[in-house]
Amino acid sequence: MHETPESDGGRSRSRWTRAQAASIERRHGNVAPPAGAPAADPFPELHVWDTWLLRDRHGDIADVGGYRLAFSLTAPADLLPGKRHDVAEIRCFYSPDGREWRDAGPVFDGGALGQRQWAGSALYDDGEVYLYYTAAGDETADEMTYTQRIAVAHGGTVRADEGGIELSGPWTHETLLTPDGEWYETEAQSRGMTYTFRDPWFFEDPATGETHLLFEANAPAPEREGDDPATAHRREFNGCVGVAVSESGDPLSWELRPPLLDAVEVNQELERPHVVVADGRYYLFVCSHVHTFAPGVTGPDGLYGFVADALDGEYRPLNGSGLVATNPPEAPFQAYSWMAFAHDEVVLVQSFLNYHDFAGDSLDAIADLPEAEQRERFGGTLAPTLRLAVDGDRTRLRGTLDAWRIPTPDEPLPPADDSELPDGDALGGRIREGGSAGGYVAGPSGAVDDGAVDDGMIDDESADGGGGESLRNAGSGESDGSHGAI
Ligand code: FRU
């Protein structure tokens, strides 16, 4: 799985290969049950999507005066869902019990970097809050741009009392990381359908005590002499999981290191990378889309994962292919932006409800629907929390909890009910081929996943422990119902 580019300074680089990705398929244990329309939406006036929890240095959910805090990208709910990325605003929600959530409002009051702010992570350390985020777009430009850099806000205050949580500035905003052009592609170098340098995620390695920021990026894969046109095109799909370290542990001072993993010729976007440590192993999770797979490789919108014995790797794709969790075939875009967190013996996964009522192959078709329908089919709130067993190199979904259910490890879970998981015919349906046209193609050309899948890779008995989303033209379309999504 690895080859050592000279620039990696001798460290072997893990790779997600085309051969591994060729075995991606829906099977019992990786398909979530249909979610349907939100049973209850605690914030109907908002679109809520990418969400992360306030955690301490050890990765545990922070307790701030009896509350747990979540940060989400949000936009007004009357906005066409596909346009939300262009106006994304980070808000804070808090809960005394991981069930009922209240809105603490937008986190920044002006002053944040970028034209808008995208996903990140939040660290609570010594009573200080560090909000890592993506500064998207160049705030000095007149028009909308898609530059991305990794930023932090610090110096704000969080207060808790019986009335709730108050988060207030002033915040100091700093750019922490930009792509170097060697390990991480710059926007100017990008040949692909989208360019990424975003989604910082704080992680302290329990084994070494070293402090890391993981992020989504692209590994330079320039045109090479002698490549045939098909190979040259496949190499445009060059997603990677980036990493930076803070040798002193200072949450504000970072140095780039070579990617932890790349997916050159496999996939363009490895989104929101994050790690859960279980049984001493490092489970590296990313989200990705059907339309960002390279030509000839096919996978659904889903949570993908890799496992290694150390943070540096070498990573092996979970379940052989990398696919950990996806949506049911009748609602292939039902949820997105999955983020896993540890709960006692299992792993839980929160995500947001995307287009829960749409059976097409591509989110492009959403944009053709009347605007009211686009809104109706879009969730814009958290999806049911997934329960995931992890066991060595294998994972298996075990059922769901309510939407917005974010329990801490000391809160016991009800018994898992595997019976709600799709099986047999309910797994059928084609997975459309990926980005052969560099984005959404008109009409499916996908490989067939007929439903009669063999569940052979998971031993059920033993696994017990454990729109149209191209950023470049995000939201700029006339009737855009999906291009704004990423
Ligand atoms: C995932 C994502 C993130 C990005 C955000 C912008 O859903 O693409 O990578 O930060 O959406 O809305």
Backbone angles phi, psi at 166, to 5 degrees: -125, 125
Contact 43, 92 (CB under 8 A): no
Using a pLDDT cut of 90, give the percent of the chain over it: 80
For residues 407 and 343, is the Cβ–Cβ distance under 8 A? yes
The 10s digit of each residue's pLDDT in 358-408 is 998 888 889 899 999 999 999 999 999 999 999 999 999 999 999 999 999
Distance of CA 164 from the midpoint of ligand 1 (Å): 28
- The residues carrying an active-site annotation are 50, 271
pLDDT tops 80 at residue 90: yes
Could you tell me the distance, in angstroms and rounded to a whole number, from the CA of residue 454 to the centre of ligand 1? 33
Res 448: pLDDT = 24
pLDDT confidence band for 11 (50 / 70 / 90): confident
Closest protein CA for atom 8 of ligand 1: 486
Can you give the pLDDT at residue 4? Answer: 52
pLDDT at site 5: 61
* Other beta carbons within 10 Å of 394: 19
Output 42 or 420, whichever has higher pLDDT: 42
Q: Is the per-residue pLDDT at 107 higher than 80?
A: yes
Confidence of residue 424 (pLDDT cuts 50, 70, 90): confident
| Alpha carbon distance 404, 376 (integer Å) | 20
Helix, strand and coil content of the chain, in percent to the nearest 5, comes to 10, 40, 50
Q: Which of 201, 196, 156 is nearest to 52 (CA)?
A: 201
Beta strand residue intervals within 56-196, DSSP E: 68-76, 89-95, 102-106, 116-125, 128-136, 148-154, 157-161, 164-168, 172-177
Mean confidence (pLDDT) of the chain: 88
| Ligand 1, atom 6: closest residue by C-alpha | 118
Q: Is 270 in the pocket of ligand 1 (CB under 6 A)?
A: no
Report pLDDT digits (tens) over 44-78.
Answer: 999 999 999 999 999 999 999 999 999 999 999 99
Which domains are assigned to the chain?
Answer: 6-427 (2.115.10.20)
Is any atom of ligand 1 closer than 6 Å to the C-beta of 474? no
Please give the order of strands across the beta sheet that includes 102-106.
Answer: 102-106, 89-95, 68-76, 46-55, 116-125, 128-136, 148-154, 172-177
Determine if ligand 1 sits within 6 Å of the CB of residue 134.
yes
pLDDT of 452 = 26
CA distance 48 to 280: 33
Confidence of residue 432 (pLDDT cuts 50, 70, 90): low
Report whether 176 contacts 254 (CB < 8 A). yes
> Quick check: 153 pLDDT over 50?
yes
Asked if 318 and 394 count as a contact pair (C-beta separation under 8 A), the reply is yes
- CA 275, CA 310: separation in Å to the nearest integer? 11
Least trusted range by pLDDT, from 4-18, 102-116, 229-243: 4-18
CA-based nearest residue to 353, from 318, 380, 387: 380
Quote the pLDDT of residue 165: 98
Q: What is the pLDDT of residues 440-462, one digit of tens each?
A: 222 222 222 222 222 223 333 33
Question: What whole-number distance in Å separates Cα of residue 453 and Cα of residue 335?
Answer: 22
Across the range 322-348, mean pLDDT stands at: 96
